[in-house]
Each structure stands twice: as C-alpha cells, then as structure tokens.
Structure 1
C-alpha cells in the first residue's frame, strides 16, 4: 500500500479496504499477515476512514436498484422483509467495536442518549435514517445507508426481528435493544 493511500484511508500500515462480493460490503484486509475483519484495526484514524468510506463506499447504481427490485419481487412471496437500521454500540455490546471506532467505551446510558437524539432528528424530518446511518451507525451496513437487505424469521436477533416484522413498510421503530447495542429500524419492504 502506498503512503498516499494510507493517508487517504486512515488505516495502519499493511491494511487496506477491500470489498466482499458475498455480503456486498467493504472490509479491512492486512495484505502481510492475510488477516481480514469487518471492523477497522487498532491504530486507525477513524475520522479519516469515515471520510474515505463516505467517498468511495457509499454509492449505489441504477443497475443495483433494478436488480434489488427484481430480488424484492422474488422475496415478497417467501415471507422475507427488508429493513435498514442505525446501530449505536456501547461498552456492554456483544462486540464493542465498529468501522468507526476500534474500541467503543461509551456507557449504555450514553448510547441511549445518542440514539434518542438521532430518533428526534428523524422524527422532525431533519434527516432520514439512511442518511444518518451512513456516517453514524456502528454497523458495517452504514455504507449501504443501513440497508440490511432481505431477511426472514430466525435470521436476526429476536428483539430486532420482532420489532422489524411489526413495522409496516416505511415505518421506523423506537429504540430497540439487542446484544449488539441500540437500534432504530426502518422497514423498507
């Protein structure tokens, strides 16, 4: 990796951003020891990484939309739904790290205050859940505006699944707590 790329991504030496074809998400790869991970490695300049990811890994194309629409029609008959979410992790989360922060140290109470602020912004119409997720969600789905794609019963954590399946398309949940952290969920289809 060149020094210029290191400055652009904010990743430590020997790390680069790659793209997973199976999950259609970016991930982090160490080309020396062949390690890969969804969260940025320790030593990452998270502000620089956030700018890099927003610039290079948040776009969508008309082709992707067309194939997503075709997939949506297929999935509708299979009992699957599509949802997006915004996740705020805390130090008690199952994995207290994210693409934004190598180590999350905030308390659950601090996380709740943060996500309630996001909820108010969305309810006021200041910003959409997807646009907020792009820069603020602790889930790697942030690059896709929080879009988790289609999933069925049994695919997600119980609390998340119950909240998502109880929403009508277009509706957004209140704060939902799971082992991963605190979520706002928007049903897309």
Structure 2
C-alpha cells in the first residue's frame, strides 16, 4: 500500500497538517520523499496559504492595556494595575502615535512585544487563528470587520483596551 498524502486543516490547532489516507498516519512535518515544491500538488495544498484558511477564521495580533476596572487588573509586567481606563486609552494612543495611517505588522509587533499586558506579547501580540465565539464579543466584531493589514480603533473589552491588527 503506497502513501496517499493530502493536506487537511486541524480545527484544534488551527493549522494545516499532512494526512496519509492509506495508512491513517498524520504529521505536522512535510512527509518523507516530498519537497516544498511537490507538496503544492497534493490535495488540499491550498490550505497551506494563509489567505485560504477556513473562511470562518481570522488571525490577529493585539496590544492590550489593562486598567484597574479590567477583569484581572494584573499582568506579566505589573502585579497590580491601578491606572484608569482613560489613562489606558491614552497609553495606547501614545504607544502607536508614530505608526502613521498604515502601520506595518512589524511595527505593531515591536510595540506589542514590549508594552502589551497580554502574555501574547512574547509573540508580538499574535493570537493565531480564531473563530467566532472564541473571543469577547467586542474584540471578535472588531477583528472580523477589519480588512487584513489594518489596525482597529480602540476596542474596549472586559480584559482592558486594545488595538487590534488583523493579519489574516
């Protein structure tokens, strides 16, 4: 029985993976005997392109500034956050003042990695792919309504105030 590799999409990890229909084996790595060029001919290869992730998913990064009325007013940076919501919004605006009208993902990630109150700061604010129902409603609505490559206005959630940058 010879391998019958195809590319499928993992709903739990929100990433494409390789599946051999003949053996039932799956892997995250390119299967032996295949190259970057040959995997493009496999069934499901379109799933490897970020633009072709399932339509009900988006990918975004965010810059979160918590305030004293946030659901959990502490972060990896500060044990006890005492700033007001207005001060948090002012911080967001100050941190992104140099972005101009069309910030890049790199600019956004650089600021988020240092200043975001979310543990995603370690990944430049990247939250990966998510679907409706996985985020707080205001965050979800703002993200799904943003075009890819755009940054939101201030988004207020129970977690704090955010800028969101949609990446896919």
TM tier relative to shorter chain: 0.5 to 0.7
Q: Residue 78 of structure 2 is aligned with which of 72, 76, 101?
A: 101
Q: Is 1:89–2:85 an aligned residue pair?
A: no
Distance 1:122 1:142 in 2: 18
Residue pair 1:90, 1:181 contacting (<8 A) in 2 also: yes
1:150 to 129, 150, 163: 129
Decide whether the 8 Å contact of 1:163 with 1:173 is kept in 2: yes
Question: For residue 90 of structure 2, what is the aligned residue in structure 1?
Answer: 113
Larger radius of gyration: 2
The CA deviation at 1:156 is: 0.4
C-alpha contact 1:119 1:174 (8 A) present in aligned 2:
no
TM-superposed deviation, 1:133 = 0.3
Q: Distance in 2 between matches of 1:71 and 1:151?
A: 16
TM-score (norm 2): 0.66
Structure 2 match to 1:47: none
Q: If the length of structure 1 is used for normalisation, what is the TM-score?
A: 0.59
Deviation at residue 148 of structure 1 after TM alignment: 0.1
Q: Is 1:70 equivalent to 2:70 in the alignment?
A: no
Name the counterpart of 1:166: 145
Report how many aligned residue pairs link the two structures.
Answer: 124
Deviation, 1:70, is 3.3
Structure 1: unaligned runs, 5 residues or longer: 1-21, 24-65
